[in-house]
A and B are shown apart, each in its own frame.
Chain A
Amino acid sequence: MVYWLQQMLNALQLGSIYALIALGYTMVYGILTMINFAHGDVFMVGAFFCFLAATYLGLPFVPTLLLTMIGAALVGVLLERLAYKPLRNAPRVSAIITALGLGLFLENFTLALAPYPKHIPPLLENVTWDMGGVSLSSLQVLIIFLSLGLMFLLDYVVHRTPVGMAMRAISWDKTFVPLMGIPVDLIISVTFAIGAGLAGAAGVMYALAYPVIDPYMGIMVGWKAFISAVVGGIGNIRGAMIGAFILGGVEIMVTAFFPSTYRDFVAFTLLLLLIVVRPYGILGKPRTQKV
């Protein structure tokens, strides 16, 4: 019982990091029906911003987090403006390939500037409580609650504010929405900024939990977050959150029973089976083709 509680706590921690990244995938897909494969690397760039802010500027936690989120958001918008926007009317494959290329570029560019893995200094004092055998660290609590807070904030923005309404309108229709006076380009950029900002936040939290970072860390975590988004039904924000916690849970359970090297195998097999059986995910809706 104690063991299970401990594992569930770990799953929650992992799941909330996945969820923050998955939101970026799903928001961009929802609005542009495009898979932003560079998103995992924005998360990595976020972790490196966190390293820079904490080491070179010596900032404490909250300014580091804010600065990282802003920096990551800028990177996201930059990618969108320079690379994706010119391709908006090109075949969809072009955008996917460009995204893959940008991801690889971010990885190798970071590698060229930072050839060795970096250590993040401890930004917060980590207290561990023992609750009847279950160990709970203040860091875990922070990660879980901060992520949940950001998710609720996003959910509020998307469902309750004019910007969110504009986002949903654009994802519904791209031909007539601009005629209603909605600044489509701006809203798309905002979407990228929010998604990238959340990935930046995830980068900070990941760096706090696993303090050694390297330029390729975004690949696997990014794919996992992407799986979460697909599992939940890509394009669906609440689905992405659910998917992330499911994947976090599955991964923790796999490592509890099997050697940890089986984790990726199980995660991707799950993805494959899910897409074959239910391509539109848990909360997604099937799209039908008209003849």
Chain B
Amino acid sequence: MSAVLKDAWNGLLDQAWLVPALLLIGFGLAFAIPEYNLLNKYIQLVLMYIGINIILTVSLNLVNGYMGEFSLAHAGFMAVGAYTAALLTMKVLPVAAYPVLFPLAVLAGGIVAAIMGLIVAVPSFKIRGDYLAIITLAFLMIVKSAIENIDYIGGPRGIPGIKRLTTLPWVFFWTVATVWMIRNFVYSKYGRGVLAIREDEIASDLMSVNTKRVKFLAFMLSSFCAGIAGALFAHLLQFISPRVFDIIKTTDVLIMVYLGGIASIGGSILGATAYTALMEVLRPSTMAALFNWLPDLIFDPLNQYIIQNLGVWRMVIMPLLLVLVMLYWPRGMMGQREFRGFIPRRDRDAYRRINAPVNAPGEKP
């Protein structure tokens, strides 16, 4: 019975119309939900954060999972994208043109972040491992203190009053676009080059992989996506400051990457979704709303002693969760595995057994 179900399921997954159909439905929902208020505003907000976190997680996974480096700079690239886009929408672009030009501002955020990605990519040619981690950390700190020292962009006070231009359809669009690009990159000669570098850099060079070019592209793509996420984030939160993009933000993304599992796009999507949802559930207001059906006798002490303190304690739970994942679940949800749907058909077929005997010349070895 289960075999039949499994075959039917796999057959369904192999349908060429499946992905476009799902995307179309998703897009339709992304438009319909805010238009007709199908879900309450808070859940819509959480959905948008999930989308942004998916972009961040999948793109960080490209460097930390597929390439096996350890980058701490992701929040820095995010900051670059956020500031670039926010400055464009607030100081450069005409107000009337917002709806049309917002995607351009987001794209600009991604492009500037990608250029900053070079600062990390170039040292990575020579330096690996711990020292590259330090370089990415230094980059993050430099971005942060550079922003703090530029008065034009608000210095340490940041930029308040950014227009809320990020909407559910836009988040959906950018999430799909960036995840699709990273997935395509991974299943190309460059993506295989990234994997080869993780395994053995010198051997990959000797197998004709242009390691510099591959690293260059991978870092650029990763930081480009982080910049996009930052731009969306800025226009959702409506306020950015250097403190928003500190090491804790990077740690958040790291948790999502390793929770979901390295070198897996599906895992990153799961990890980002699960973690974002968990953090929201642990908010005092959400918890109170979830449990207020309990009789007052139980609810009041629960609320007073536990729920209202969650604001701080969830910040304790978060890093503890990361440590526990590393200790007891090192592969995360999907470490180095992938949903069939994310693997291009050509790649899946490559492993299919050939029934007809191959016309092997010679009888060796």
Binding site for B on A (CB under 8 A): 33, 35, 83, 86-87, 90-94, 96-98, 100-105, 108-109, 111-112, 115, 219, 223, 226, 230, 259, 261-262, 264-265, 268-269, 271-272, 275-276, 279, 289, 291
Most buried by A among B134, B142, B148, B202: B134
Closest CB in chain A relative to B12 CB, distance in Å: 36
A87–B148 Cα distance when bound, in Å, is 38
Further contacts, 18 of them, CB under 8 A, given A102-B323, A275-B135, A276-B126: A33-B130, A83-B323, A83-B327, A90-B326, A91-B330, A93-B70, A94-B330, A97-B322, A100-B322, A105-B320, A109-B316, A112-B312, A112-B315, A261-B145, A261-B148, A261-B156, A271-B134, A272-B142
8 Å CB contact of A93 from B68, B138, B156, B255: B68
Write the chain B residue with the least CB distance to A102: B323
B316 near A105 with CB under 8 A, answer: yes
- Asked, given contacts A35-B130, A291-B202, whether A105 binds B138 with beta carbons under 8 Å apart, the answer is no
Known: A35-B133, A93-B70, A275-B135. A264 touches B326 (CB 8 A): no
The reply to whether B146 and A271 form a contact with Cβ atoms under 8 Å apart is no
Known A-B contacts A97-B258, A265-B149; the reply to A276 vs B123 at CB < 8 A is yes
B145 touching A101, Cβ below 8 Å: no
25 pairs, A vs B, C-beta closer than 8 Å: A35-B130, A86-B327, A90-B330, A93-B64, A94-B326, A94-B330, A97-B326, A98-B322, A98-B323, A98-B326, A100-B251, A101-B319, A101-B322, A104-B248, A105-B320, A261-B145, A264-B141, A264-B144, A265-B146, A269-B142, A272-B142, A275-B127, A276-B123, A276-B126, A289-B202
B265 at the interface (CB under 8 A from A): no
A111 to B319 CA separation, bound complex (whole angstroms): 14
CB of A111 within 8 A of CB of B131, answer: no
A100 CB contacts on chain B under 8 angstroms: 251, 254, 319, 322
**How far does the Cβ of B314 sit from chain A's closest Cβ, in whole Å?**
9
Cross-chain contact A275 with B312 (CB below 8 angstroms): no
How many inter-chain contacts with C-beta < 8 Å in the A-B complex? 116
Q: How far is the CA of A103 from the CA of B248 in the complex (A)?
A: 11
Q: Please, which residue of chain B has its CB at the minimum distance from the CB of A270?
A: B138
Of the listed residues A33, A96, A262, A289, the one surrounded by the most CB atoms of chain B closer than 10 A to its CB is: A96
Contacts of A289 in B (CB 8 A): 202
* Complex CA distance for A102 and B326, rounded to whole angstroms: 11
Residue in B146, B258, B312, B319 whose CB lies within 8 Å of A102: B319
Tell whether B247 is near chain A: CB-to-CB under 8 Å.
Answer: yes
* Contact among A104, A230, A261 for B149, CB-based, below 8 A: A261
Q: Are A96 and B133 in touch, CB under 8 angstroms?
A: yes
Q: Which residues of A contact B322 (CB under 8 A)?
A: 97-98, 100-101, 104
Q: Which residues of B contact A104 (CB under 8 A)?
A: 248, 251, 315, 318-319, 322
Give bound CA distance, A92 to B128, whole Å.
12
Rounded to whole angstroms, the CA-CA distance of A129 and B53 in the bound complex is 56
Complex CA distance for A42 and B184, rounded to whole angstroms: 44
**7 residue pairs, one from A and one from B, having the closest CB atoms:** A104-B319, A101-B322, A108-B315, A105-B319, A265-B145, A268-B141, A101-B319
Within 8 A of A (CB), among B279-330: 309, 312-313, 315-316, 318-320, 322-323, 326-327, 330
B327 touches A271 (CB 8 A): no
Per the bound structure, the CA–CA distance linking A115 and B131 in Å amounts to: 35
* Residues in chain B near residue A101, CB distance under 8 A: 251, 255, 319-320, 322-323, 326
Instruction: Answer yes or no: B129 CB below 8 A from chain A CBs.
Output: yes
Task: Give chain B nearest CB distance to A232 CB in angstroms.
Answer: 14
Task: Name the distance in Å between B16's Cβ and chain A's nearest Cβ.
Answer: 38
A contact residues around B64 at 8 Å (CB): 93
B232 within 8 A of A: no
Are the C-beta atoms of B70 and A96 separated by less than 8 Å? yes
| A264-B141, A268-B145, A275-B135 given; A115·B319 CB < 8 A | no
What are the interface flags for B55-71 relative to A under an 8 Å C-beta threshold, 1 for contact and 0 otherwise?
00000000010001010
Which of B258, B319, B326 sits near A108, CB closer than 8 Å? B319
| A residues less than 8 Å from B134 (CB atoms) | 35, 226, 230, 271, 275
* Closest partner residue, chain B, to A267 (CB atom): B141
Beta-carbon nearest neighbor of A269 in chain B: B142
How distant is A76 from chain B, measured CB to nearest CB, in Å?
Answer: 16
Complex: A272 Cα to B319 Cα, angstroms: 27
| Contact with B129, one of A92, A97, A108, A219 (Cβ below 8 angstroms) | A92
With A and B bound together, what is the CA distance between A23 and B134 in angstroms? 17
Q: Are A275 and B330 in contact (CB under 8 A)?
A: no
- In the bound complex, CA of A269 to CA of B123 (Å): 13
Q: Which residue of chain B is the closest to A290 with respect to CB atoms?
A: B202
Kindly state the separation between the CA atoms of A86 and B329 in the bound complex, as whole angstroms: 12
Q: Is the CB of A272 within 8 A of B138?
A: yes
Query: Shortest distance in angstroms between A20's beta carbon and chain B's nearest beta carbon?
Result: 20
Distance between Cα atoms of A262 and B312 in the complex (Å): 31
Smallest CB separation, A130 vs chain B (Å): 35
- Taking CB atoms, residues of chain B closer than 8 Å to A262 are 145, 149
Query: B228: CB under 8 A from chain A?
Result: no
- B142–A279 CB distance below 8 A: no
**Which residues of the other chain, B, contact A83 by a CB distance below 8 angstroms?**
323, 327
Query: Cα distance A83–B138 when bound, in Å?
Result: 26
Query: Counting CB contacts under 8 A, is B137 at the interface?
Result: yes
